[in-house]
Amino acid sequence: MTGSEPLGAPPLARTTLDRAAHHRRDSDWLTAAWDRGQVVVVDLDKGGRALVTDGPDGGSALILVPPSEAPEGERWFLGVGPDGTPFWAVDAPLTAGEGARAMDLRQVGHLLDARDTGLLTTAVALGNWHRSHRFSPRSGKPTTVVEAGWARVDPDGHMMWPRTDPAMIILVHDGMPGPGGRCLLGHNAAWPERPGSGRRFSCLAGFVEAGESAESAVAREVHEEVGIALSEIRYEGSQSWPFPGSLMLGFHGIADPGQPLRLDPEEIDEAHWFTREDVAKMIAGEGPWGLPMNASIAFYLIEKWLLEDWETFSG
């Protein structure tokens, strides 16, 4: 495989949502927006699952409900669609009717269209933040929702806003085109074994530490986890990974496969250089190894490398 049309944005970066932040403190507008809006129900007790049904072209589509059918609970304003429809989220148990399935972002994010991907990703990210901020870290006092779900406040007036934790993820490869080009994938020591499906291999990743740039984190994590140095780094894109609240910054990087691998056994218990032919077989479900889920930015980085030549990277 020597090249193809490049991929678009990472799966969970796709959206058509206008967050319309200027409306978050406008109570009259919000009241009217609830009445004419659509609601996505997410069950955070079940990992942020939502109800989906079969969509066009083999994809999936979110099942949205009118406000009159929405369950009780905190209301979080997600934003406005291209046609002016306001969208909301409510955290509640799901009741699946005929033709409906309860799925989470990991399972279905890559199968949703841009509108539904943006809605579900935002709803889960916002919901997970609310779940972990019921009490103020400053005073220990209970907090309540304000600004249509985009802030919380304690009785003393101390405000909190949603935050995300930056993390880097990189596909290391040798920069060579064609089926013999190689990339470096590792197996995380904390991942459980999956009987019958082979070991899963993925990109190297880690959190950006305090006072550190994303690029410095890339170089540090690669050296810490597998003991090699990078000669080049290229930023590829980002996407939310709300499990519970990360922003994944994706990179491609080049390294010499002749460098000896020195694994940190607490992080990576196995790592190998795989050719494009190997990776193509893994995507097809052939062979003894597996890859990360299709909704992940790791899969996006791997697939993009699979379809690109070195001329694209260096140009």
Of 85, 114, 132, which marks where a domain is finished?
132
Of 78, 110, 132, which marks where a domain is finished?
132
**151 falls within a domain:** yes
Q: Are residues 191 and 294 part of one domain?
A: yes
DSSP-derived secondary structure for 127-191: HHHHHT-SB-TTT--B-EEEGGGTEEE-TT--EE----EEEEEEEEE----STT-EEEEEEETTS
Q: Are residues 140 and 54 part of one domain?
A: no
User: Which residues of the chain register pLDDT less than 50?
Assistant: 1-5, 310-315
- pLDDT tens digits, 220-232: 999 999 999 999 9
Q: Are residues 261 and 239 part of one domain?
A: yes
pLDDT at 8: 86
**144 falls within a domain:** yes
Verdict on whether the full-model pTM lies above 0.85: yes
- pLDDT tens digits, 112-126: 999 999 999 999 999
What span, in angstroms and rounded, lies between the C-alpha atoms of 197 and 285? 9
Q: Are residues 180 and 139 part of one domain?
A: no
Q: Are residues 154 and 206 part of one domain?
A: no
Q: Which residues have C-beta within 8 Å of that of residue 244, sequence separation ≥ 6?
A: 128, 129, 131, 132
Of 132, 154, 186, which marks where a domain is finished?
132
DSSP-derived secondary structure for the chain: ----SPP-S-GGG----B--GGGTT-HHHHHHHHHT-EEEEEBGGGTSBEEEEE-GGG-EEE--B-GGGPPSS-EEEEEE-TTS-EEEEEE------TT-EEE-HHHHGGGS-HHHHHHHHHHHHHHHHHHT-SB-TTT--B-EEEGGGTEEE-TT--EE----EEEEEEEEE----STT-EEEEEEETTSPP-TTT-EE-B-EEEEPPTT--HHHHHHHHHHHHH----SEEEEEEEEEETTTTEEEEEEEEE--TTSPP---TTTEEEEEEEEHHHHHHHHTT-SSEE---TTSHHHHHHHHHHH--HHHHH-
Q: Are residues 154 and 123 part of one domain?
A: no
Q: To 5 degrees, how large is the angle CA 288–CA 262–CA 246? A: 75
Q: Are residues 234 and 143 part of one domain?
A: no
pLDDT at 4: 39
Q: Are residues 128 and 177 part of one domain?
A: no
Domain that holds residue 110: 11-132
H, E, C per residue of 120-132:
HHHHHHHHHHHHC
pLDDT at 59: 92
pLDDT at 312: 44
**52 falls within a domain:** yes
**50 falls within a domain:** yes
Q: Give the count of alpha carbons within 13 A of 258, CB side only.
A: 1
Q: Which residues have C-beta within 8 Å of that of residue 264, sequence separation ≥ 6?
A: 224, 225, 226, 227
pLDDT at 56: 80
**254 falls within a domain:** yes
CATH number, domain containing residue 52: 3.90.79
Q: Are residues 286 and 200 part of one domain?
A: yes
Structural tokens at position 142 = 């209970």
The answer to whether 151 and 160 are in contact (CB under 8 A) is: yes
Q: Are residues 249 and 141 part of one domain?
A: no
What residues pair up with 171 in beta bridges, in sequence order?
252
Q: Are residues 198 and 148 part of one domain?
A: no
**99 falls within a domain:** yes
The answer to whether 169 and 251 are in contact (CB under 8 A) is: yes
**4 falls within a domain:** no
CATH number, domain containing residue 271: 3.90.79.10
Q: Are residues 299 and 169 part of one domain?
A: yes
Number of domains in the chain: 3
**5 falls within a domain:** no
